A and B are shown apart, each in its own frame.
Chain A
Amino acid sequence: MTALPEAPTTPEPPATDPSTTKAPAAEPPATEPPAPRRGRSAVLTLSLLAALLLLSLLSAGIGAYEIPLGDVLASVQHRIGLGGHALDRTAESVLWNIRLPRVVLAVLVGASLGCAGALMQGVFGNPLAEPGVIGISAGAAVGAVGAIALGLTFLGNWTVTVCAFVAGLATVLLVYAMSRSGGRTEVVTLILTGIAVNAFAGALIGLFLFFADNAQITQITFWQLGSLAQATWPKVLAVLPCALLGLAVAPFHSRRLDLLALGERPARHLGVDVERLRVALILVVALLTAAAVAVAGIITFVGLLVPHLLRMANGPGHRFLVPGSALGGAVVLAAGDLAARTVAAPAELPLGVLTALLGSPFFFWLLRRTRRRQGGWA
């Protein structure tokens, strides 16, 4: 039987007392080698990064106007002053004014959605939480649609983003308050709350459409399907602060999110200021969702699919999961946008439709599995 000695933390030199130095030395050495998991995280991170880079380069080159991979690289090198050469005017313009803003936007939106999904699942302690499913995206969309329909421009380029953030934040708080009882979130309550919020947000969006003029209606409808087709550098700039702030802050909370998996009280017993953590993370989720929704409309299931696949591959630890989901989301959306542009060329599928087509069956499977695990919803 191990004696579980308290290691002395007295300030005087401890090595002089043989009775206290003997006890810690007698303890068994650590038996669990944490190495394999760490190794797997590194491999996953590297392959995701490689995939993202490859997809970005492919996306920049493929399209109605083909630009060979070598030319893409050369032009990028040229612009950042590392040799290379400029392309002819058309190619340069297509690459820098159409393709690259779109690629960057896909990466930003995907990273935001993936990261927001991982954070939400951690905060709600529920693997089915996702901004789209529980209505946060729809809530943010109300803000964005309202801004477009009412022609608001009080903050210039950032108006739509800010409106989406405020509405998204209000929605997260509402869903959170409504779906929690006794320190936990029931799956049924969460999904039903999502249905109610989605319905209400849909009604509000309908109302704004009713008051909008024809040009605005076209803009809103197209945007609502979820698309990156109107990507420009100003749009990238409009969401960059929100997305970067959210993505930069999120990983700092990973350790606490791990502890939150034990439940709220045990997390508090381990020194987590649970209230503060929740408020901070809800703000971050609202930031990320707003960033994504403001430019790309409602793109569902990325935040659900990506963290789940990563959890299966590398376990539920948030230190990998949170940044990994951002990376994975970026990969999925970069690939999705490339597919949306090229599958039905010259026509273009709405990205939101594509992700929903692929994501819904996955959600279905997840629901069934969760149900089987806990033996019913009641």
Chain B
Amino acid sequence: MTSAVLLRRLLPHRRARTLPSPAAPGELVAKAVGLRVALGGRAVLDGVGIGVRAGEVLALVGPNGAGKSTLLAALAADLAPSAGEVRIGGRPAGDWSAGELALRRAVLPQAAALTFPFPVAEVVRMGRAPWAGTEREDEDEAAVAAAMAATEVEAFAGRPFSALSGGERARVALARVLAQRTGLLLLDEPTAALDLRHQELVLRVCRERAAAGDAVVVVLHDLGLAAAHADRVAVLHGGRIEAAGPPSEVFDAHVLSRVYRQPVEVFPHPRTGVPLVVPVRPGPHRRPASPPLPERDNSPSLTGP
């Protein structure tokens, strides 16, 4: 019967999905091996290998165009690598269906957009969609409430998303990702639009998730934040991982100065000992009354290869 076939094609269908089992602390949740990704004929990632472990915050840092977001997208199984492999939960990323992946990893995109003015609470609740029809559906309300509390968005729960400021939208998007309650969190610049207080808040949330046993991968531009909150840091440069390890080992003035093509100083915080990374700046001169100008960071040399 052709109409039956047509009907089956038109109706959404849900394959039986296996629920993920919680990962043990330190267990490899996702990994990339020999990863090569070419976009528009150019290798954006070349020979990248990295492992993401449960209970750990891994920060990806590096200059613009180094391949941070591409690596994150590859770990999210958004991109098909031209060589190498991404494994999530012990299986090649391509072997999972979209529905199964959604139970295992949540992704915060760089820019949060919404085509229709859904209220904030409904946007956060969208994060629960993958669990519909599973036994963990019962957690929905609790997960939404907890995620909204953690990101401090309850105050505007009823407002339409389109009426929010950039920073508020970013937090709502993060709340949606937290509500998904997956064992792997991939966050692309979650702090970009946020003020000081909320930058700290977001990374504290990342830490809490890691402490609860999740694996968190976060793309950061602020090296100070990375040093203070990440267990491990991977410095990307030109599509390769230049250095990876605990921030205290990786944040070396020579390496960072070379990678960013900007002389930097690294020194321990006087109280906590956490490395601080600061561009080398000339001391205040000429007009002592005004604050010193930072080095211009949009010099033409940045557009080089």
Which chain A residues have a beta carbon within 8 Å of chain B's beta carbons?
Answer: 1-10, 24, 27-32, 125-127, 245, 249, 252-253, 255-256, 258-259, 261-263, 265-266, 268-274, 276-277, 280, 283-284, 311, 315-317
Verify B136–A9 contact, CB threshold 8 A.
yes
Which chain B residues numbered 133 to 152 have a C-beta less than 8 Å away from chain A?
135-136, 139, 141-142, 144-150
Q: Which residues of A contact B286 (CB under 8 A)?
A: none
- Give the residues in chain A near B107, CB-CB below 8 Å: 265-266, 269
**Chain B 96-136: CB-based contact to A (< 8 A → 1; otherwise 0):** 01111111011101000111111101110011011010011
> B114 to A261, Cβ gap below 8 A?
yes
Cross-chain contact of A316 among B98, B105, B118 (Cβ < 8 A): B118
Which of B9, B105, B147, B214 is in CB contact (< 8 Å) with A6? B214
Quick check: B12 and A253 within 8 Å, CB to CB? yes
Inter-chain contact A270/B103, CB cutoff 8 Å: no
Question: Which residues of B lie under 8 Å from residue A261 when comparing CB positions?
Answer: 114-116, 118
Number of interface residues of B (CB under 8 A): 64
B193 at the interface (CB under 8 A from A): no
- Main secondary structure, interface of A, reads loop
Give the Cβ gap from B105 to chain A, nearest Cβ, in Å: 8
List of B residues within 8 angstroms of A2 by Cβ: 146, 149-150
- Nearest residue, chain B, Cβ from A258: B126
Task: Determine if B126 and A262 form an interchain contact, defined as CB atoms under 8 angstroms apart.
Answer: yes
Contact status B204-A1, CB under 8 Å: yes
Residue in A closest to B129 when the chains form the complex, CB atoms: A270
Whether a CB of chain A sits under 8 angstroms from the CB of B10 is: yes
Chain A, Cβ-Cβ closest to B9 = A280
Instruction: Take A31-B154, A273-B98 as given contacts and tell me if A315 and B118 are in contact as well, using a CB distance cutoff of 8 Å.
Output: yes
Within the complex, what minimum Cβ distance (angstroms) separates B280 from chain A? 37
Give Cα distance in the complex from A262 to B129, angstroms: 13
Residue of A24, A29, A252, A261 with highest tally of chain B CB at under 10 A: A261
B181 — which chain A residues lie within 8 A by C-beta?
4, 6-7
List 9 interface pairs A-B (beta carbons < 8 Å), by A numbering: A24-B142, A29-B145, A30-B144, A31-B145, A31-B148, A245-B10, A273-B98, A276-B12, A280-B12
Q: B157 near A: Cβ within 8 Å? A: yes
